[in-house]
Structure 1
Amino acid sequence: MTNAKLGEALRLLGLDHAASRVYLALLELAPAPLGTIAAAAGDLDEVEITAAYGVLVDAGLASAAERGADVVAPVPPGAGLEILARHRAAEVEESRIAVSGAFDSFRRQRLAAYNDDLVEVVTGDAVGPRIRHAWASARDQIRQFESPPYFPLPGATDDALATLARGVTQRVVYSRASLEHPGHVRDVIEPCVKAGEQARVLAAVPVKLVIIDDAYALVSLSIKEADVHNTMLVVQPCGLLSALMALFEQSWQNALPFHGRTTRPGGLPPEDRRLLWLLAGGAGDDVIARELGISRRTLYRRLQILMARLGAANRFQMALRAQRSGWL
């Protein structure tokens, strides 16, 4: 690592310029008298060098000079770096709270006289970056209505998986059209569900929607007839946001689970579980056959086997008994 990069790393950990220069000199010359280190560090007087070296000692990066001797040296930085990193993290968190508080104060003052900043319109090329920023900013949970048409956003599934990996709860209500969109189950829905997403299905969702924590919502103004999704509303805290959150919770209660934990009595092959999930989600025979990579004839044969196993006379009974058996 070059001295410039190391100096920048030390700065990011909270060490000032003088302390960084002294530490670099220590790494090159120590063990050595402090006077030798001071000369190598550059234009620092006695008071400055003493203060800078004291910063390094306090940070756990250098040893205190022994009584009667002036020889100094760096020490293993593990514990010291951990302390510095924690201090920096605490400072960043304090800064985040301060900036958020200042903006909240600004918004309250503005809203006392104006109400035109409650809904922001985002269009064109600005839609994609705004969506990605929303995912990255989530701290507690994301609630989503998901349906075509889809905005072309490379890496969107990776963003969702990264959000789940951070411990953010993600609840998504998919429309039946989402299941029927070619490759969407295999490439998008199933990887997210496997990573911990809670997914449910409705025949149709009332609006394309993403709610970030309780902070704001993204509402798509898509044109289905033209398969266009190039305008989005950003709704700040207000009565409209409260209504959108209530709409999601009501729809969530009415939706069917797409994927669930199952005890699988007697064992159930993964492909049969997938078949049942697609069937319960309302996918048609052609869609199920395509997603499973089998012919309609093979699909019908597997359905007959599952119905016989569950003692069901038709698909409706099969779905009910599969749910009661813990397979859905």
Structure 2
Amino acid sequence: MENGRLGAALRMLGLGDTTCRVYLALLELAPAPLTAVGAAAGVGGDDLAAAYGELADAGLASAAGGDGDLVAPVPPAAGLEILARHRAAELEESRLAVGGAFESFRRRRLAAYNDGLVEVVTGEAIGPRMRHAWASAREQIRQFESPPYAPLATATDDALATLARGVRQRVVYSRESLEHPGHLKDVIEPCIEAGEQARVLPSVPVKLLIIDEAYALVSLSIKEADVHNTMLVVQPCGLLSALTALFEQAWRSALPIHGLSARPAGLAPADRRLLRLLAGGATDEVIARELGVSRRTLFRRLQILMTRLGAANRFQMALQAQRSGWL
């Protein structure tokens, strides 16, 4: 794996930039004195000690031989599992913290708010407010996207128009978004091909749209959005900062979905859609429905893709597809 991609993968697991540089140097030189590894990485003193300590704590490095200054990498399986679980725990902790803070905020303050920091929008006013939000974006939109969907006929056109204006758009989709009939083909993929940066998680905690650093549109929860046709407009305040931090945490943990520019020659659009649905956790029934094929045809396509990727099972196929830029 190229150093840049390996470094990015390590940062996604929670290692700092300095620690990543030391680990990459360790892979090149080890077994070697820690000072030599630090010199190759351009790190020394307390920074080097802290970086090596982080690697040792993560189970990725240890002393080699009898000389205490010699260090080497160790088989990473256990360490990577620890890091992955730690990242998942951090995301869950952040989700619970923001969710709890928001519920407390709603119970104690929402009814009494009169200073303009939070506005409640309901019913038919939601559609025009969302269109205004897309049109007002100047630099960046960050979004958690999941069903249920409001009946806004122009929603996809608004997103495409925003992308055409050069606004950066980052979206974390839930698995249900990919499984929603026709949504991957008719909504998600056109936006990705227009330049949207998309990732997917098994679920997202809220339906969220953050416009630049200016304000956010947020539902009370995924469940409540299905029952109450209500949306909050959150102006700059502690709550907006918490929602932004939650998005960034989820973005780092989500699986990227790439566009056509990363597609290898010969990969049919239907196979790309199959891989995206599979990576998102969709069932065989949902994948077959979205592709318009029988389960037998689906299994045949899966076997062909596994053979092309040299994978023995679906998990390996999804992993190899991600590494190859097929997703």
Q: TM-score, normalised by structure 2?
A: 0.62
In 1, distance between residues paired with 2:185 and 2:131? Answer: 22
* Cα shift readout 1:74-127 (whole Å, capped 9, x = no counterpart): xxxxxxxxxxxxxxxxxxxxxxxxxxxxxxxxxxxxxxxx97321111111111
- Give the 3-state SS of the residue equivalent to 2:144 in structure 1: strand
Contact kept, 8 Å, 1:120 with 1:235, in 2: the verdict is: yes
The one-letter amino acid paired with 2:182 is G
In 2, distance between residues paired with 1:169 and 1:244? Answer: 18
- Give the 3-state SS of the residue equivalent to 2:171 in structure 1: strand
The one-letter amino acid paired with 2:198 is A
Within a 5 Å distance, the mapping from 1:100-249 to structure 2 comes to 116-221=115-220, 224=223, 227-249=226-248
Superposition CA RMSD, Å: 1.9
The one-letter amino acid paired with 1:192 is C
The corresponding residue for 1:285 is: 284
The one-letter amino acid paired with 1:173 is V
| Pairwise CA distance, 1:260 | 4.1
| Pairwise CA distance, 1:266 | 5.5
Against the structure 1 CA distance between its residues 169 and 223, is the aligned structure 2 distance closer, same or farther, given a 3 Å change threshold? closer
| Pairwise CA distance, 1:261 | 5.5
| Pairwise CA distance, 1:215 | 0.3
Against the structure 1 CA distance between its residues 258 and 217, is the aligned structure 2 distance closer, same or farther, given a 3 Å change threshold? same
| Pairwise CA distance, 1:280 | 1.2
| Pairwise CA distance, 1:269 | 2.3
- Report how many residues are paired: 215
| Pairwise CA distance, 1:293 | 1.3
Which one has the largest radius of gyration?
1
* Cα shift readout 1:120-145 (whole Å, capped 9, x = no counterpart): 11111111111110111000011000
The one-letter amino acid paired with 1:162 is A
The one-letter amino acid paired with 1:306 is L
| Pairwise CA distance, 1:222 | 5.5
In 2, distance between residues paired with 1:146 and 1:168? Answer: 18
Percent identity reads 83
Contact kept, 8 Å, 1:119 with 1:236, in 2: the verdict is: yes
The corresponding residue for 1:273 is: 272
In 1, distance between residues paired with 2:119 and 2:282? Answer: 36
The one-letter amino acid paired with 1:302 is R
The corresponding residue for 1:42 is: none
In 2, distance between residues paired with 1:174 and 1:265? Answer: 24
| Pairwise CA distance, 1:326 | 2.8
* Cα shift readout 1:54-86 (whole Å, capped 9, x = no counterpart): xxxxxxxxxxxxxxxxxxxxxxxxxxxxxxxxx
Contact kept, 8 Å, 1:306 with 1:318, in 2: the verdict is: yes
| Pairwise CA distance, 1:221 | 2.9
Contact kept, 8 Å, 1:143 with 1:172, in 2: the verdict is: yes
Contact kept, 8 Å, 1:143 with 1:210, in 2: the verdict is: yes
The one-letter amino acid paired with 2:115 is D
- Give the 3-state SS of the residue equivalent to 1:227 in structure 2: helix
In 2, distance between residues paired with 1:199 and 1:230? Answer: 26
Against the structure 1 CA distance between its residues 284 and 258, is the aligned structure 2 distance closer, same or farther, given a 3 Å change threshold? farther
Within a 5 Å distance, the mapping from 1:68-79 to structure 2 comes to none
| Pairwise CA distance, 1:224 | 3.1
In 1, distance between residues paired with 2:220 and 2:257? Answer: 26
The corresponding residue for 1:310 is: 309
